[in-house]
């Protein structure tokens, strides 16, 4: 079955610690995205990558870092510089302008990060 | 940049129809989507419509697009308690990133 997996589902972090969230897809999609979701604020784009070894900052990149060494994987590191990291993090992937033309994003199940 | 607006909350009685509305700003938006998010889960694509269409029906779901007013709506017929979720409107130019609305929380009262 093709899909996107995120791990772990729940993550707890002490203040001052870096933590890495995993995102893997086997849909052969070129592009991958990280969003942050807070209550009443919808989805905010953190980083996105349209191709391996390349990524761009989204709207709220400060305090986060990413890498894209493999097509299937797009891990997100929440650094100690992120002042308010408690949120629900969603990973997505797509192939913009693909054969279907739709380009819709497919989402993982999310990781809930809580800072203690 | 693109802006997508939705109301935050909608409450309906079980069996009634629900209508969730969305407005967007970029007239070049080619693809328009509706996603559903259940509590603690990711987003799931419900349906989509191309900008050259006015309406699309898929079982209990009807999507209406008014391109002149840049208005998109999702109608859910015979709303069930299992339809309670957050519904996101999203738009894309196809080769660009998708822009999401803030999400409308649908509450279905038994």
In chain B, residues with a C-beta closer than 8 Å to the C-beta of A87 are none
* For testing contact with chain A, the best of B40, B53, B85, B98 (most A CBs within 10 A): B98
CA–CA dist B100, B87 (Å, integer): 10
Band of residue A40 on the pLDDT scale cut at 50, 70, 90: confident
CA–CA dist A46, A107 (Å, integer): 15
Q: Do A107 and B92 touch (CB under 8 A)?
A: no
- Residue A97 pLDDT > 70, yes or no? no
Band of residue B88 on the pLDDT scale cut at 50, 70, 90: very high
pLDDT top residue among B63 and A96: B63
Cβ contact A115:A85 at 8 Å: yes
Q: Do A104 and B100 touch (CB under 8 A)?
A: no
Burial of A83 (0-12, 13-18, 19+ CB in 10 A): exposed
- Read off the pLDDT of residues B29-85 as tens digits, 9 standing for 90 and up: 788 999 999 999 999 999 999 888 999 999 999 999 999 999 999 999 999 999 999
CA–CA dist A26, A44 (Å, integer): 24
In chain A, residues with a C-beta closer than 8 Å to the C-beta of B29 are none
CA–CA dist B33, A45 (Å, integer): 17
């Amino acid at each position: 079955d093709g899909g996107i997996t995120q791990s772990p589902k729940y993550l707890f972090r002490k203040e001052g610690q870096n933590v890495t969230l995993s995102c893997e897809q086997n849909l052969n999609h070129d592009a991958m995205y990280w969003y942050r979701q807070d209550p009443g604020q919808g989805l905010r784009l953190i980083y996105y990558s349209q191709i391996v070894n390349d990524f761009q900052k989204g709207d709220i990149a400060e305090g986060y870092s990413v890498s894209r060494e493999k097509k299937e994987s797009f891990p997100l590191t929440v650094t100690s510089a992120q002042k308010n990291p408690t949120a629900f993090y969603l990973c997505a992937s797509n192939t913009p302008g693909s054969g279907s033309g739709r380009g819709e994003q497919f989402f993982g199940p999310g990781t809930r990060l809580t800072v203690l | 940049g693109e802006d997508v607006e939705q109301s935050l909350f909608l409450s309906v009685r079980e069996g009634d129809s629900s209508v969730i509305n969305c407005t967007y700003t970029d007239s070049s938006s080619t693809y328009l989507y509706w996603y559903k998010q259940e509590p603690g889960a990711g987003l799931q694509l419900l349906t989509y419509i191309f900008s050259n269409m006015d309406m699309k029906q898929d079982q209990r779901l009807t999507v209406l697009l008014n391109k002149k007013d840049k208005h998109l709506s999702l109608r859910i017929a015979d709303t069930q308690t299992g339809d309670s979720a957050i519904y996101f409107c999203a738009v894309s130019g196809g080769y660009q990133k998708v822009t999401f609305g803030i999400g409308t929380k649908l509450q279905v009262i038994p």
